[in-house]
Amino acid sequence: MLDNGAIKSISAEARRRAGIAIPKGQTYLVEARLAPIARSEGYESQEDLINALAQVPEDRLWRRVVESLADHETWFFRDPAPLDHFMSDILPVLARIKARKAPIRIWSAGCGTGQEAWSLAMLLEEHKDRLAGIDIEIVGTDICSRAIDRAQTGAYSQFEVQRGLSIHRLIEHFKPSGNQWVLKDSVKRWVRFERGNLLKPQENLGEFDIIFCRNVLSGMTPDARKHTLAQLATRLAPAGYLVLGPGETIAGAGDLYRSLTGARGVYARTMDRQSKQAA
Ligand SMILES: C[S@@+](CC[C@H](N)C(=O)[O-])C[C@H]1O[C@@H](n2cnc3c(N)ncnc32)[C@H](O)[C@@H]1O
């Protein structure tokens, strides 16, 4: 069993690297996540793994440990109300503002194994006739490289497709491959994935018109939440939108965002970045 010292150093590293909060009393969770890593890295136990990391803090191994501690729970069309609101209310506004001169850019930030980004892509594909001529791009990012590798394949088990997908959508957008279901190219064309840490600036991603960052802040420390909300604002277009998960709020973000009436979990950017920086 991991002792208090080991749990403390793991929690500190999870907080420092990813902003992940490990609630007190969740030692069992840490042990359950570390056991397979210790085995696959050739250590006899989780204690041996943590002792080795204390002596030689190998970055790759710490990264693997911390990434394993994140909550990766996700499913297709999870909490669909904001997705529907995006398609019916926000997308037409963005299309008007952009007037086909620039692409509409959507970010699934903290996308896990990709189901959120692919759900958005399925919706766009289903409405492609009315979107003809409008350039739309979805980018999915997550701190966990294993999750991103899986998202990129677009391949899901029977269990995973049963979570949130109607049979109609399964047949329409997936093809069977062995014991998996793989997304068709018609859906794949909308999305690209890359690894990224929300605590970092991520300027390389460019600017987005809407950011879905759902069920990510809830797993973070209050400081990391605040920091992430500030980082997201730097990636959001002046007339952009932020969508959070149920129970997540913009608390701690100062005046960077404002709530929109009638749309739970959807926020708009307020001040432009220049005036915010100058403030
Ligand atoms: C519970 S999943 C949410 C997935 C999806 N957004 C949804 O709502 O179903 C949270 C994801 O956030 C990612 N995450 C946690 N901290 C992160 C950070 N600092 N940077 C990027 N991703 C992070 C985790 O790796 C995990 O895949």
Q: Which of 171, 195, 191, 193 is nearest to 181 (CA)?
A: 171
Whole-angstrom Cα distance, residue 212 to residue 114?
A: 12
Q: Is the CB of 69 under 6 A from ligand 1?
A: no
* pLDDT tens per residue, range 73-130: 999 999 999 999 999 999 999 999 988 889 999 999 999 999 999 999 999 999 999 9
Among the atoms of ligand 1, which is closest to the Cα of residue 115?
A: 9
CATH architecture classification, 4-69: Orthogonal Bundle (1.10)
Q: Is the CB of 230 under 6 A from ligand 1?
A: no
Closest residue by Cα to atom 16, ligand 1, is 18
Specify the CATH number of the domain 81-278: 3.40.50.150
CA contacts within 13 A on the Cβ side of 166: 6
Residue-range domain boundaries for the chain: 4-69, 81-278
**Ligand 1 centroid – CA 232 distance (Å):** 14
Q: Is the CB of 116 under 6 A from ligand 1?
A: yes
Q: Is the CB of 227 under 6 A from ligand 1?
A: no
**Ligand 1 centroid – CA 132 distance (Å):** 32
Mean of pLDDT over the chain: 94
Q: What is the pLDDT of residue 178?
A: 97
Pairing of strands 104-109, 208-213: parallel
Reported in sequence order, the residue ranges of 93-235 that DSSP labels E, i.e. its strands, are 104-109, 136-142, 155-157, 174-177, 180-183, 191-195, 208-213
Q: Is the CB of 123 under 6 A from ligand 1?
A: no
Q: Is the CB of 205 under 6 A from ligand 1?
A: no
* pLDDT tens per residue, range 213-264: 999 999 999 999 999 999 999 999 998 999 999 999 999 999 999 998 888 8
